[in-house]
Amino acid sequence: MELIHVTMNLLVPPVIVMVILITMPPYLIYKLVYFIVASSFYMEDMKGKVVLITGASSGIGEQLVYEYARRGARLVLVARRKNLLEQVANKARGFGSTDVLIVCADVSKVEDCKRFVEEAVHHFGRLDHLVNNAGVASAYAFEEAINIVNFVPVMDVNFWGSIYSTHFAIPHLKKSKGKIVVTASPAGWLPVARNSFYGASKAALINFFETLRVELGSSIKITIVSPGFIESEMTHGKHLSQFGAMEVNQQRIDVLIGSFPVATAEMCAKAMVNGACRGARYITVPSYFGAFFLLKILCPEILDWFSRPKYQHLITT
């Protein structure tokens, strides 16, 4: 048995490299042609279709509402703040959505997720797109945790919130041959200092939906989105504190963002909906963030150095 493993260790890597070298050129050509054809001829018509969006009261979620509304979709808006949901719903109707249902719910609670999916299907009779967008940020290093349990909400919202809603939505999405859109993050594969809790939740999210894509096959398409720094309440300083409560600390968020430009939520939402409608597997917004993934694979030490904290004084602030 040991000899078998030694032999495979010697043979498998060069074989994989050879396969990549042979298949990569035609694969890239195929992807380019598919992108052009899908963008031109196979964009899904969303008129009259039903889209459920979590985290719909602000930021990327709010702009996703407007983007789907412009395409004539009927909408289910989910978030905790009813007053903001009502404002977003009114604007969505003005943008062209013929029917908008708002549901106040907390995605970290499984019973709430079951309820809003049931309300959506009861009201509209179908579900075509599930957009798992709700999320919460944290800008504290692991060593700064006063009580590790205080950071449980990061996983509860970012990971379990998407899993719960997906579990209840799948039977309805299979009937409509619908789609799941997941707001992940480059933090799921890009190590960023003082971002370990958030990054872990997004890494779990990416891995889960990549696996679910294989399990579901062609019955439901899944689009995994990795937005970079996008204008939202998060980039304005709102995140989970080390004490387990939401706080606004612009200084900490500014350090995480550094010199990177912050893209608009409207631009991000348009890219997400376009990608979902053409059946894209992955979307990175802005697209240049994808280059860091190559750096992670080819030169991980350089990426670690680049991501290492430069402002240690924040640990005491």
Looking only at the bridges linking them, the beta strands covering 238-240 and 246-248 are: antiparallel
CA distances to 26, 47, 101 from 59, rounded to whole Å, are: 39, 24, 19
Q: Tell me if the bond preceding 186 is cis, omega within 30° of 0.
A: no
Contacts of residue 180, defined as CB under 8 A and 6 or more positions apart, other chains included, come to 129, 130, 131, 132, 166, 169, 173, 209, 220, 221, 222, 223
- H or E element in which residue 213 lies: helix 196-216
C-alpha triplet 208, 38, 66: angle, nearest 5° = 70
Q: Report the alpha-carbon distance of residue 285 to residue 270 in Å, rounded.
A: 10
Q: What six digits make up the tokens of 137?
A: 């940020």
Q: Report the alpha-carbon distance of residue 80 to residue 161 in Å, rounded.
A: 13
The residue annotated as part of the active site, out of 66, 140, 164, 198, is 198
Report the candidate in 164, 145, 209, 156 with the shortest Cα–Cα distance to residue 183.
209
Cα Dmax for the chain = 69
Active site residue 30: no
Residues in the chain: 317
Active-site residues, by number, are 198
